[in-house]
Each structure stands twice: as structure tokens, then as C-alpha cells.
Chain A
Amino acid sequence: MRWFLFLLLVVALVPAASAENHTVIVTQADDSSSYFFDPEVLTVNIGDTVEFVWGNGSHNVAQVSDSESKTYGSGFYSGVPEVGGNWVLPAEYTMQDGTLYYVCQPHALMGMSGSIIVGTGTPPLPDIAMEFGDFPWLSYLLVFPLIGSLWILGFRNNPSAPRIIALFTTLFTLGLSIIIFVKAGSGSGFRLMEEYVWAPKLGVSLLLGVDGLSSPMVLLTGIITPLAVLFAWHEKEKPALFFALLLVMQTALFGVFITLDYFVFYIFWEVVLIPMFFLIAIWGGDNKRYASIKFIIYTFTASVVMLVGFMALYFEAGVNSFSMIEIAEANAGFNRDFQIWVFAALFIGFAVKIPSVPWHTWLPDAHVEAPTAGSILLAGVMLKMGLYGLMRAAIPVLPLGAEYFVPIMVVLAIVSILYGAALSLGQEDLKKLVAYSSVSHMGVALLGVATMTELGFAGAVFMMFAHGILSPAMFMVAGVMLHQVGTRDIPKLGGLAGYQPTTAGVFVVIFLGSLGLPGMAVFVAELAVFIAFFQSHGYWLILPIFGMVLTAGYHLWALQRSLFGPDSEQIEMNQVHEAPWYEFYPLLVIVILAAFFGIFPSYLMDPITVACYDILAFMGEV
């Protein structure tokens, strides 16, 4: 009886333990008229083994990336056994669903290729951890600035109430965004999710959530806005409207960074434009009318093209939902041509915001004319929307399209870096110099994205954060020059260090930080991007590195001409003061932050890296 049970157990276990063995013949016709694998398409179950057996001729088996590709990149490779020899496919390749394509390298062009379909044939997408919060932190983030702006409009006739309310509101949202950043943590997937149904028939809902990609951006927005408010402390013209618009803008920016629904994302994306338009148009410099119109038409045109792309994604996915997560999960069904076209549409929308050469021309105009607080938000947060959108809304959903665009992105990024830096060298207006330096810095971030590696992505996001705090600081420097010295023209400046030593010291630190001094945040980002770029594109790295030389050049040259050297004849030196408290402390805060994240990058890098890994997992790259 005992023996019988044992036997039964053995009989039961054997089929479970055995894996099927498949054979593929690698051969050619006797008269060399055709070269083939037999069978050409093999379907196996997970865990099966595949053995290749060599017939006539000398062949090998080399994995390629897709059915069109002819060249071996990475993956399995058999070597060239003798006729009658064999080679077994390593077991790791058949352990999960997917399709493996391979060719015989010498005869790939004669059509000698085959494929193995493992299981269902499509690699399983990683499960996205979605954790719904028990407290609506994210909607508070959207609602509080709006309440603040209504509150301000209630006190619009009081001269100082608006700025106090604005400061209070923004400090409060800063607290919220720190909480959110901490709560988001560095785990994989989305945290603190909330969903409010809006139009279920069309699949539109206000779907909120943060991951390691968006939480640094939320934190950045939270940090930058109170600084902008503080810097505009003495705004004299229509202060109520000014601060109310700043707060509306903050809501829209938060909205862009925390929505996971294409439709709502687009709405926030466009709502950002309206307050910015008025900020430039009402409080701008001499040429504000031209700059504001150019700004809004440029960006609006690009984003409507993007909207068409979103709609196409929605229809092609066929999941009756605008949710980015659901559409991304359906991305296996998108064919390559579709992906390329849609990625092109989205890329136009995002590239104008980045801005990448040749769509950068609105930026210097908008920056130069915008009031300093507007420039701070524009450079600090708005420019990040482009790359954020690219990494959130385009790349994970359209991996093949993104791969097709890699060379274009690399070229655009390198041109942006070099051209932006070269133009910065030639500028006389300090604000314009900073504007072009933004083009150059965002080029570095775009380069990181174009590497399509984890390190590159992470470097790009880190760059977005680092540039997001340092570039506002440089605009503040330009603002301080204008307020305390009376001009931003570099040739007119000179010898200021003797008259405002403390302020000048902070200026120097900020400029050095921006040029990528080790120990400051920008350095970490640049290093990560360049390492990743070297790994993916090799010695082409020399070009962006040369851009860094230019970057160091224009930063140091500007410092030297404006702060040091002989006293300028063209300004009244006795009129030059130190920066007042409301201009000085924002700068100091930024210096501290930049140093903190430069020395302890891991606080940011941890969540960012995990999010970047998630993106790559979605693209099927890892």
C-alpha cells in the first residue's frame, strides 16, 4: 500500500516537473538556394527547452531586437558549431512570456531568421503599485492655492493684505508638498492616489497620484512659489491681481504634475498659460505686448498638436479611458508607425515647452519681459513641464516611437547645449544670459532622456530639480541688479563686490552652482547624464562636454565683468546697496538647498531612480 502511494506520487509529480523539449533545425538547401530555420516560428510554453541542431552549412543563432532587425545587439548567441552539432538555448530566455527573434548572422540578409513565441508571446507588463490614500493630500494641494487667490481678491483694496495672504498660502502649500514628498517615499508605483469621476462615458476622471517622478516636481513647485511671492514683496501695481494670478498658476502647475489622466493633464497644461500671459502682459518690461503674445501663441500652437496626439492614443488604446496608466498598459497593441506619428505630435508639444532649439525663441523674449516673479516660475517650474510630460505621457506609452526619435533628440539636445551656451556668451543683458543658459541646461536634461537608460532619466529629472532651484536664483540675481544697481546690462556693471560684499558672495555661489561646481546640485545631474550618455553613445560625449566648457566660460565671464574689476563709470556707486531682506533670504534659501541636494543627492535620487526604472520597465527595456 505504501509503495502504491509512493508510485502515485511519482506519477503525479513527473508531468509537472517535466518540461517539453523542442528542436529547431539550422540548415540550408543542398544547392544553397535557401537558408532557413525549421520551424521558422516555434511556439513553446514557459519553462520548455529549445535545442538548435545544425544541418548543412555554417550558421549561427543570434538574438535580434525585433522581426525587422538583422544585426545582433545583445542577448543569446550560439557560436558556430560543426554540422550535426547542437546548442541549447539558455533556460533563462524561456522563463517568462515574450517573443524572441533571432537570425543567422552570415545569412540574415538572405532571409534566414526565426522566432520563438514563449507563452502568450507578449512580455508581461510590470504591475504598477497603486496605493489610494486615506487622506486627500493631493486635492488639498490643488484647492488651497485657489482658495488663497479668492481670499486675496476679497482684500483687493488693502495694500498689504494680498502679499501676506499669498505668503501664508504658499508656505502652507510648501508644507503640504513636503508632506507629499515624504509620503510618496521611494517605492515603486503611485502613491496617495485619488480618483474623482468627471465624465465616465468618455473615461475622463480627475485621477491624481504621485511617484518618484512627480514628487520632486511637486516639492520644487512648493519651494519656488513662496520665494517668488517673497521676491515680489514690493509689487506696487495691482498687487491683488498679481498675487492671485501667481496662486492660480501654482494650482495649475501642481495639477500638471499630479494628474494621471490625459484630458485633465491637458487642461492644467493650458491653464498654466493664462496667468502667465497676464503676468507678462501686465507687469512686464517695455516690450511686454509682443513677448506675451509670442509666448502664448507659440506654446498654444504646440499644445493643440499634442492634444490631437492624446486623442489618437485614446482611440488606439480602446480602453475607453484617458487614464495614463490604463493607456500605457495597452501599449503593446500600438504598431510602430502609429507610435512614431503620435510621438512626433507629443514631442512637438513638449519640445516647445522644454524649450529645445529650434523652438526656443519664445523663451528669451518671455523671460526678459516678464517680472522677476514670473521669470522665477517660468524658469523654475514651467520649463520642467516639457520634460516631465515627455517622461510621463509620451515615453512609457510609446516606446517604439521614442526609440525612433532617439537620434533626433540627441541632436536637438546637443545643439541646444552648444547653441544656448554660445548665445549666452554673447549676451549683454544679464536676464537674457540666464534665459539662454536655461536652453543650454534643459538641453542637458533632454540629453539624459535621450539615452533611454535609468541613469540618464534619473540625471534628467535631477537636472530638472537642480535647474529648477538655481535658475530662479539667477533670475533673482538679475532682479537684484535691476532694483539695487539700476541696470542689468553687464557692460555697464563692474566692481560691485566692493559695495555689496554679502550679496556678491551669494551671487558668486549661485553662479558657480549653476555652472556645475561639485558639491552643488547641478553637478550631480550633469555627471549622471554624461555617464549615461557615454554608455549609450560613446565618444560623442565630447560635444556636450565642450558645451560645459562654454557654460563655465559665460558664467565666470559674467561674474568677472559685473562684480569684480574696476568700478563702473556708468552707475552711481554710492547708490548701490546690499539686497533687502525680502530679496536676500530667498537667495540664501536657494544656496542652502542647492548645497544640500548637492551633498546628499540620495534624498532625491532614490525616488527618482525607482520611478525611472518603472518607466523603463513599461517600455520593455529591462
Chain B
Amino acid sequence: MDSSLLFLPELLLVASIMAIPALYIATENNKSYSICANMTLALSFLLLILFWFYPDEVSFEKNSSVYIIYSHFKLDTFSQLFKIIFVLTALTVSVLSGSYFEEDEPHQAEYYTLLLSSTLGMMLVASATDFLTLFLGIEISAFSSYAMVAFRKQDDKSTEAGAKYFLIGAFSSALTLYGISLLYALTGSITFEGMRSFFTGLNNEVVSGNFDEVIFISSLFILAGLGFKIAVVPFHAWAPDVYQGAPTPVTTLLAAGSKAMGFVALFRVFLFTMEAVSDEWKLILGIIALASMTIGNLAAITQDDIGRMLAYSSIAQAGYILIAVPALTDDAVSGAIAHTMVHAFMKGGAFVIVAGVGAAGLGYSLDSYKGLAARSQLLALSMTVCLLSLVGIPPFAGFISKFLLFYGTLQAGLSGDTWIIALVIAGVLNSALSLYYYLKVIRFMYLYDAVGSKDIEFSNAVRYISFLTVLFLAIILPLFWQSLFEICKEATVALMT
């Protein structure tokens, strides 16, 4: 069968990106854009699922598990898994935006176009086989999200966040690019495969020469750029401001989608391309992971804006995920993949509630969560599940993924580099530390009386999404975590070979 069918999920997005401006010319109806975006994303999501379960029919051979198109675009379990996450996130954001924005909010056509193009960029990153495609994907996604963050032109905070995000983003892109160019100059290849074989050769002394400094410096530059995307210390400073200032659906996209994209790129670069020279970057990543979780958690304690608090928590979570990267074993990496995915659900779920509460006019400070349980049991329950899941309290999904993450990493530490054990212990203690600020929100929701009226209508979209989140995080994933583990294992094998 014709393999270009495999492009369908992406092609659909491209078609829709062109269709929405056309719709804008044809009709002034704001609803039509969101309907168009929702339909596109839902269809794309269905196709991805379809291709996942019936790969043979569309010539995506699951046995060989890899399918490469024009040698720049690769479909394997790893990429498809994350594409599902990206499209699902974008779908959630799109549905959420429909209820978040006022009917007559201007520039909605642009907004949905940008949302789709940002998703397209993420999907490109997941499938990239060389640095050019990777960089292209990152930039498509990033430029779209710069504009989306600053979407509310009249709102000072939104504009400020947009400007900040853009400046720091452009700077870090430049750093990444410089790192890539160094690697290119060194290896003479732009593809991951080519660089990998160069580094392996270097390791086996097939290629002679000592390039330690160059490799060290270029990995530092690339790390600076990708570290910005996943928001780890010390490249994290933008996150709290942007998460706070951007319209909440956009924050959801950044926290769930964009962050996962950063990890996808990071995994491809460090776990596949530069695996052979891991000695050069292992320790830096370890230190960054440690700093990130500790500083993230400590800073989160004092926040009184929910967006900022979740931003710092997101920084801490990135730290947890990073500890698996220096471990370099299959189990650790599948733990990291599992936690990246589950993190997208937990954080996305939490920000959906934030959007719902914000859209209902209650505000974005922690205080606005006082008495939420009295206003809506469902929203409070969903927020509780998301937050406890972020801490890693059993039996929620966050515990399962965190367990897999620490499990794999500890195993690597016990059998290899012992300093990795310290990272695991730091991660475990940090989890306990983080309990404090998550509990603060839970206490506010259940133990305090609501200020103001009790009868506040939350939009149906928010209610449905939060119901699904609870279902997924509290019941489905914990029951079938063996499947999660196996899928992540498959993805790891696809990623690392």
C-alpha cells in the first residue's frame, strides 16, 4: 500500500492550517474555527490510534517497527507514541479554548491556526531523524507558541510573557543551532545515525583523535537550548512568568505538549545520537536534574499564584525525568518516557481546572481555590487526583510512572555509576517535599469556605475533561500499568537502537 498514507495525521493538520484562514475569509463565525480545529485534531488522533493498532494495513510494519520516509522522517513506536500525546494535548487545548474565550474574542482564526501549526511542529520533532528536521520542528512549534502566549494583545501580562518567551526562546534556539553546527563540523554528518556511528567509532578507536572539549561544549550548547524547552534549572526563569501570563489553554499546551516535545528532542539527541560519548555529558545532566528538582520544589512552596506554582512544580518534574538520562539503561529510559507521558496528563489535567476556575471568574491565585469542593465536587476531585498524582502517591498514575522511573534509575545506579543512587534518593526526598505545596491547594479546596457565591457554572468542556482525567489517572492507568510499561519499553527499544 502507498506509504504516503502514513503522513495522513500530519497532512490533515497542514490542510486545516490552510483551511482556517480560508474560513476566516468566507465566514465571520468564530465558532467555525474551533469546530474545524477540533475535528481535524480528533480525526488525526483517530488515525494515529488506527495506525498504532493496525500498522500492517498501512504498511507501517510493526515487526521492523521503523519506517523511514525520504530519510528525514521516521515513524517508529517512540515517535508515534509521542505524536498521540501531542495531538491529544492539542485536542484538549482546542476544546478547552472553545469555552475559555469569549464568543466575540478577536483573532480566533489566527489562534487556532497557530495551535495547529504548533502541534505540527511537535509531530515533526517526534519523527525527525536529523538535526535539520529537529530544529525545524522545534522552531515551527516555538514560533507558533510565542504568538499564542501574547495572544491577548490588550493584556499587559500576556504581552509581557510573550515578549519574554520570545526573547529567551530565540536566544536559546541560537545556542542550540551553534551546538549543532559544532557537531556537524566535527562529524561531517547531520543525521542522528551518522553522528552516532562517528561517536561509536570514536569510542572504539576506529576514528582517531581527541574531541572531548568540542563534544563537551557542543553538548552544553544543545543542552542549553533544549533545557529551555523543558524548563530545567538554570534555563527555567521564563517558565513561571509565561505560565502565569499566558492564556491558560496556551499554558496547558506549553506545560503538557511543548515540554514533552523538549524531552523527545532531548532523548533523541542524548540517548541515541550522543550515547557513545555519554561520559562527556552525564555529570552535567545529573547536576541539572538535582538542581532542577530541588530549586523547583523549594520555589514552588512560596508561590501564591496557581500558574506560577504549577510552573515551578513542572520544573521539578523535569528534574525527576532527567535523572533517567545519565542512567542510560532501557528500564530507566522507559521509566522516563512513562513519566513524561503521564506528566503531560497530570499537568494538562491540572491546568484544565485552572482554566475552568479562571474562566468562571474566580481568578488565578491560590486563594481562589478556597472552597472549590463546595462549588464543584468533580473539579475538586480531579484537581486532587492530578496533584496527588504529581506527588506520586499511590495508587494514582503518577506513582506508577514515578515508580518505573526511580526503579529503572536505581537499578542502573546499583549496577553501574553509584552516584546515580544519590539522584534517586534526592528525587524521592523531593517528592516528599513537594507534598507540602500540593497539599496546600487540596486543603484550600476542601477545608476552607468559599468566598463569594456558591453557584458558579463551570463550562461543560472543563467538566468532561476533568472527568476523563480522573478516570484515566485514578483507574485506567493504575489497573493496566503493565501495558504502559510494555509500550514504554517498546518505545525505548525503538529510540535507542
Contacting pair B435 A305 (CB below 8 A): no
A270 within 8 A of B: yes
Contacting pair A202 B435 (CB below 8 A): no
Contacting pair B424 A308 (CB below 8 A): yes
Q: Mark B398-409, 1 if CB is under 8 A from A, else 0.
A: 010001001100
A125 within 8 A of B: no
A541 and B399 CA atoms in complex are apart in Å by 44
Q: How large is the interface on B (under 10, 10 to 19, 20 to 34, 35 or more residues)?
A: 20 to 34
Name the B residues within 8 Å of A199 (CB-CB).
481-482, 485
A267 within 8 A of B: yes
Contacting pair B432 A282 (CB below 8 A): no
Quick one: closest A residue to B411, CB to CB? Answer: A315
Contacting pair B443 A304 (CB below 8 A): no
B185 within 8 A of A: no
Name the A residues within 8 Å of B393 (CB-CB).
270, 273-274, 300
Measured CB to CB, the closest approach of chain B to A359, in angstroms, equals: 14
Contacting pair A293 B414 (CB below 8 A): no
Q: A201-B485, A297-B432 are in contact. Are A308 and B410 (CB under 8 A)?
A: yes
A480 and B258 CA atoms in complex are apart in Å by 58
Contacting pair B443 A281 (CB below 8 A): yes
**A296 is contacted by which of B392, B399, B435, B482 (Cβ under 8 Å)?**
B435
Name the A residues within 8 Å of B486 (CB-CB).
201
Name the A residues within 8 Å of B425 (CB-CB).
305, 308
Which residue of A199, A263, A273 has the most chain B CB atoms within 10 A of its CB atom? Answer: A199
Name the A residues within 8 Å of B388 (CB-CB).
274
Quick one: closest A residue to B424, CB to CB? Answer: A308
B287 within 8 A of A: no
Measured CB to CB, the closest approach of chain B to A519, in angstroms, equals: 43
Name the A residues within 8 Å of B481 (CB-CB).
198-199
Contacting pair B406 A308 (CB below 8 A): yes
Quick one: closest A residue to B489, CB to CB? Answer: A201
Contacting pair A301 B439 (CB below 8 A): no
Contacting pair B447 A267 (CB below 8 A): no
Tell me the count of chain A residues lying within 8 A, CB to CB, of chain B: 32
A76 within 8 A of B: no
Contacting pair A282 B447 (CB below 8 A): yes
A311 within 8 A of B: yes
A201 and B406 CA atoms in complex are apart in Å by 17
A289 and B447 CA atoms in complex are apart in Å by 8
A304 and B395 CA atoms in complex are apart in Å by 14
A297 and B434 CA atoms in complex are apart in Å by 9
**A305 is contacted by which of B407, B414, B415, B428 (Cβ under 8 Å)?**
B428
Measured CB to CB, the closest approach of chain B to A494, in angstroms, equals: 36
Contacting pair B410 A312 (CB below 8 A): yes
A305 and B433 CA atoms in complex are apart in Å by 12
Name the B residues within 8 Å of A271 (CB-CB).
394-395
Contacting pair A301 B432 (CB below 8 A): yes
Contacting pair B439 A282 (CB below 8 A): no
Q: A281-B447, A296-B439, A315-B414 are in contact. Are A270 and B394 (CB under 8 A)?
A: yes
B340 within 8 A of A: no
A267 and B407 CA atoms in complex are apart in Å by 15
**A304 is contacted by which of B410, B411, B428 (Cβ under 8 Å)?**
B428
Quick one: closest A residue to B395, CB to CB? Answer: A267
A93 within 8 A of B: no
Contacting pair B432 A304 (CB below 8 A): yes
Name the A residues within 8 Å of B395 (CB-CB).
267, 271
Contacting pair B406 A311 (CB below 8 A): yes
**B435 is contacted by which of A289, A300, A316 (Cβ under 8 Å)?**
A300
Contacting pair A297 B394 (CB below 8 A): no
**B482 is contacted by which of A202, A267, A308, A312 (Cβ under 8 Å)?**
A202
Name the B residues within 8 Å of A202 (CB-CB).
407, 482, 485
Measured CB to CB, the closest approach of chain B to A477, in angstroms, equals: 28
A172 within 8 A of B: no
A271 and B443 CA atoms in complex are apart in Å by 18
A301 and B297 CA atoms in complex are apart in Å by 14
B446 within 8 A of A: yes
A293 and B391 CA atoms in complex are apart in Å by 14
Measured CB to CB, the closest approach of chain A to B331, in angstroms, equals: 10
Contacting pair B429 A301 (CB below 8 A): yes
Measured CB to CB, the closest approach of chain B to A263, in angstroms, equals: 8
B466 within 8 A of A: no
Q: Mark A246-283, 1 if CB is under 8 A from B, else 0.
A: 00000000000000000100110011011001100110
Measured CB to CB, the closest approach of chain A to B265, in angstroms, equals: 29
Contacting pair B428 A308 (CB below 8 A): yes
Quick one: closest B residue to A278, CB to CB? Answer: B446
A117 within 8 A of B: no
Contacting pair A311 B394 (CB below 8 A): no
Name the B residues within 8 Å of A15 (CB-CB).
none
Contacting pair B446 A281 (CB below 8 A): yes
A200 within 8 A of B: yes
A573 within 8 A of B: no
Name the A residues within 8 Å of B443 (CB-CB).
281, 289, 292-293
Measured CB to CB, the closest approach of chain B to A313, in angstroms, equals: 11
A531 and B395 CA atoms in complex are apart in Å by 42
- List 23 A-B residue pairs with CB atoms under 8 Å apart, sorted by A's residue number: A198-B482, A267-B395, A271-B395, A274-B388, A282-B447, A289-B443, A296-B435, A297-B435, A297-B436, A297-B439, A300-B435, A304-B428, A304-B431, A305-B429, A307-B406, A308-B424, A308-B425, A311-B411, A315-B410, A315-B411, A315-B414, A315-B415, A316-B414
Additional A-B contacts beyond A271-B395, A293-B436, A308-B424 (6; CB < 8 A): A201-B485, A267-B399, A289-B443, A292-B443, A297-B436, A307-B403
Chain B residues with CB under 8 Å of chain A are: 388, 391-395, 399, 403, 406-407, 410-411, 414-415, 424-425, 428-429, 431-432, 435-436, 439, 443, 446-447, 481-482, 485-486
Chain A residues with CB under 8 Å of chain B are: 198-202, 263, 266-267, 270-271, 273-274, 277-278, 281-282, 288-289, 292-293, 296-297, 300-301, 304-305, 307-308, 311-312, 315-316
